[in-house]
Structure 1
Amino acid sequence: MLCLRPLHLAARTALKTRCLVTVAQDLSSFNIPVINFAKFREASSSSEKQKTANEIVSAFRETGFIYLSDHGIPQETVKNTFRKSAEFFKMPMETKSKLAWEDPRSNRGYVKIGRERVTQSADPAEIASLRAKAPDYKETMEIGRDWDSEWKNQWPEERDAPLFKRTMLDFYQICHDLHADVMRAIALGLELNPDFFDQKINEQCHNLRLLSYPPIKRSMLEVEGQARAGAHSADYGTLTLLFQDSVGGLEVQNPHTGAFIPATPIPETIVVNVGDLLARWSNDLLRSTVHRVVAPPSRLTESDDQLVTPARQSIAFFCNPNFSTEVSCLPNCGKEMKYPPVNAGAYIVGRLAVTYT
C-alpha cells in the first residue's frame, strides 16, 4: 500500500474536485464510434487488419455498439430490401395474418402489433403484465434460413409480393457473410485465431427481421412503460446488424449514467451491437448494452391537431451461433467464468418463448 503525505484540507478538497470532474467527463464521453470496415476487408498487411480488429473490440468493450461504414453491402441492395419490406407491410392484414408467427423454435412469420414485448426481464408473468399494459407498437416479419426441413419460412404468394422471397434470401446471405467477417475481426481483437468462430456460426441459424413502426399519436406513447420497442439488453445472439431509415428513434443507454442517447442514423452505415450470447462467451468483456426504440419528433396532423410520430422502417439481422454450439468462457477472457456453459439453441428459444404471446 502506498503511503501518502498528509494534505491540507484545501489541497484535499481541490484534489477531490479534480477527480470528480475527471470521472464526470469520462462518464459523459460515452459515444458510438464509426469504424471503416474496408480497412479490415481490404487490408494490405496483417498489422492494418489487426489495428481495425482492435478498434472494434475496444468499442464493443466500452459501448457495445459501433457504426460500421464501408462494410461492402451495396447501398442499392439495402434500398431495394427496404422497398420490398415496405411493400410487404402494405399488404392487407388478412393476407399478412395467414403468415402468422407460430413457434419460438422456428421464429418465422408475421408478428402483428402488440404481440411482442421486448424487455430486460426473463420472467414470463412480468412480461405478460408489461405486454398487457404497454405492448411494443410495431409489426415485424421474421425470416430464417430457407433450407430447414422442419421449420419453414412463411412466404407470401409471389403474386402478392413480387420478388419478395428472392430479395430477402439474397439479403440474408449477404448479411451472414458480413457477420462472419466481423466475427473474424473480433477473434483477432481477442487474440484468437481469426477463424476461431467460423465453424461455430457456419450453419446460419440467424433471423432476418423486417420492422415497420406505423404512425402513432404521441399521446399513446406517453403511457407509462410504452415504447415502440421496450428497453432491453442487446439481443439474444452474437451480433445484431441494424439498417435504419432516416427517421431515427433508436437509443442506447450509457451504462455509467443510465441516460439514453440517440443512435442517430448515419447514411450508408450499419449499427452493430453485441448480443447476449457473445457477451456470455466473452465473460462480459464485450458489453451487452441496453437499448430501446422511442418516438422520434412528432408532427401535427391537419385533421385533429394531434401530435403524431412519423412511420419508421428498419431491418435487423440477428446473428446467432450454430444452435448446437456450447457457449462458454472464451480463451483470454478471464480465469473465472461468470456464467455456466449454455447451449446456444436452447438459450435463444427460451428467450423467444417468453417474449411473444
Structure 2
Amino acid sequence: MSSKILPIIDITDLSLENSKKLVSAASKYGFLLLKNHSLNRENGVDRLFDLSKQFFDLPAELKAKYPINTANDGYVGPMVEDLQQDGSGKGDPKEAFNITHFDLSEFKPAQNLPDVFEKELPLISSCVKKYYSVLHSVCRMLAIGLDVKDSEGNPSPEFFVDAHGLDLKARSTLRLIHYPKPAEGMEDTNQAGAHTDYGSLTFVLQKPHRGLQIYDGTEWIDVEIPEMEGQELLIVNIADMLSFWTNGYLKSTLHRVRTTKERYSVVFFCQPADVVVLEPVNSEIIRNYAGNYYSLKKDGKPLSSLEHLLLRLDQGYKRKSTTTTM
C-alpha cells in the first residue's frame, strides 16, 4: 500500500492564491492539512486527549448510562455503529462519545454529560470556540477560491460562513473516539468502516498519527501526518454537504481507519444550519463542472442539511428512517 503526505495549507493566509490552493486540494483529494491554527497543544488539545482517555477507561456499566440516542448525543459502544457504507460491515470495534448540542452564544454543551466531562466544561467550550473560528476561516477560503457569487452576481466570501452562523440551529458534533488495539490476527480489519462524512467539513486530530486511509478511486492510501515543531497539523476532510453544494467538485472522499495500535482521535464534525438547502452554489467553476452529485428528495427538491444528516445517521446505526427533529 502506498502512502501520501497531503497538501499543507496555512490557515492564516486568506489570499486568493492560498484559497485556490486549498480548493485545489479539496477538489483533488478531499483531504488536506492545516497549519497555524489555534488548536495547539498549549491551548487544550493534549487535555482533550487526556479527557478522552479518562472517559474510555471508565467501567463499561458507567459508560453505558449515556447511550447514543436519535439526537446523536452520547456513548457509542463497540460494534454499535457500522460506518461501512456499502452495507457489508458488521459493526465497528471502536467506541466514541458524541457531544452534539451546543449553545453557540457561549459554546457550552447543552446536554446531559458524564461527570468526567462536566468538570471540564470550560475546556470543551474553549476548544469548540476555536473549532468554529477555524471552520469560518476555511469557509471563507473555499468561497474565495471558488469565486462564489450572491444572487446579484456580486462576490460572496461569507456564503459558507453564513450557512454555519452562530445564531442558527445546527448539529455540529465534538466526537472523542477510542480505537482498541486489534486482537491478534485482526490487524488488517477496519476499526472504522469505509465511509464518507455526513456534514460539511470534518477536523481531525489523532494519536498516534498513523491509521487514517483514503481511497483514491483505485487503491487505499495511508495518510502520513508529518511532525511540525510546536503544533499539531489539523486534518481536514470535505464531507457530503460541501460536495453537494459544489455538485461533486469538492470531493467527499471514502476513508477508513486501520491501525495495529491503540488509537485516540478528537474529531469535530461541522454541520451547516438545519434549514440550509444543499444545492450547487452560484459559481462559474461549479457551473462548468460536469458533476451531478447532489441528492434529491422524491419530489425532486434538494435535501436540507438536517434531512441528509438524519438519513446518514439512520444508515450508520441501522435504524429505520425517522422523521425526528432532534
TM-score by length of 1: 0.75
Per the alignment, residue 302 of structure 1 pairs with none
Spell out, residue by residue over 1:199-250, the C-alpha distance to the aligned partner (whole angstroms, 9 max, x if none). 211135301110001122231345xxx41011112x0111110111124110
Aligned AA (1:342)? L
Structure-to-structure mapping, 1:301-320, within 5 angstroms:
309-320=260-271
Structure-to-structure mapping, 1:172-321, within 5 angstroms:
172-192=128-148, 193-202=156-165, 203=168, 204-222=170-188, 226-233=189-196, 235-255=197-217, 258-267=218-227, 268-295=232-259, 309-321=260-272
Does the CA-based 8 Å contact 1:87-1:161 persist in structure 2? no
Does the CA-based 8 Å contact 1:82-1:315 persist in structure 2? yes
Per the alignment, residue 59 of structure 1 pairs with 25
Does the CA-based 8 Å contact 1:138-1:212 persist in structure 2? yes
Per the alignment, residue 154 of structure 1 pairs with 112
Aligned AA (1:83)? D
Change in CA separation of 1:170 and 1:89 when aligned onto 2, cut-off 3 Å: same
Tell me, which stretches of 5 or more residues in structure 1 are unaligned? 1-27, 41-48, 122-126, 296-308
Which of 1 and 2 has greater Rg?
Answer: 1
**Which structure 1 residue ranges, 4+ long, deviate > 6 Å from structure 2?**
none
Give, in angstroms, the shift of residue 29 of structure 1. 10
Per the alignment, residue 22 of structure 1 pairs with none
Does the CA-based 8 Å contact 2:3-2:222 persist in structure 1? no
Question: Residue 334 in 1 paired to residue 287 in 2?
Answer: yes
Does the CA-based 8 Å contact 1:246-1:265 persist in structure 2? no
Per the alignment, residue 97 of structure 1 pairs with 64
Tell me, which stretches of 5 or more residues in structure 2 are unaligned? 149-155, 297-301, 319-326
Cα-Cα RMSD:
2.2
Mapped partners of 2:23, 2:73: distance in 1: 31
Does the CA-based 8 Å contact 2:248-2:291 persist in structure 1? no
Spell out, residue by residue over 1:303-326, the C-alpha distance to the aligned partner (whole angstroms, 9 max, x if none). xxxxxx321001111111101111
**SS of the counterpart of 1:82?**
helix
Mapped partners of 1:353, 1:168: distance in 2: 27
Question: Residue 35 in 1 paired to residue 35 in 2?
Answer: no
Aligned AA (2:252)? S
Does the CA-based 8 Å contact 1:252-1:262 persist in structure 2? yes
TM-score by length of 2: 0.82
Mapped partners of 1:30, 1:312: distance in 2: 20
Give, in angstroms, the shift of residue 74 of structure 1. 2.9
Change in CA separation of 1:107 and 1:162 when aligned onto 2, cut-off 3 Å: closer
Give, in angstroms, the shift of residue 87 of structure 1. 1.0
Spell out, residue by residue over 1:86-129, the C-alpha distance to the aligned partner (whole angstroms, 9 max, x if none). 111111111111111011xx1110000110110223xxxxx3x6
Mapped partners of 1:353, 1:264: distance in 2: 32
Aligned AA (2:253)? T
Aligned AA (2:130)? I
Spell out, residue by residue over 1:138-166, the C-alpha distance to the aligned partner (whole angstroms, 9 max, x if none). 00000113339xx9523002xx4563333
Per the alignment, residue 107 of structure 1 pairs with 72
Does the CA-based 8 Å contact 1:244-1:265 persist in structure 2? no
**SS of the counterpart of 1:324?**
coil
Mapped partners of 2:69, 2:140: distance in 1: 34
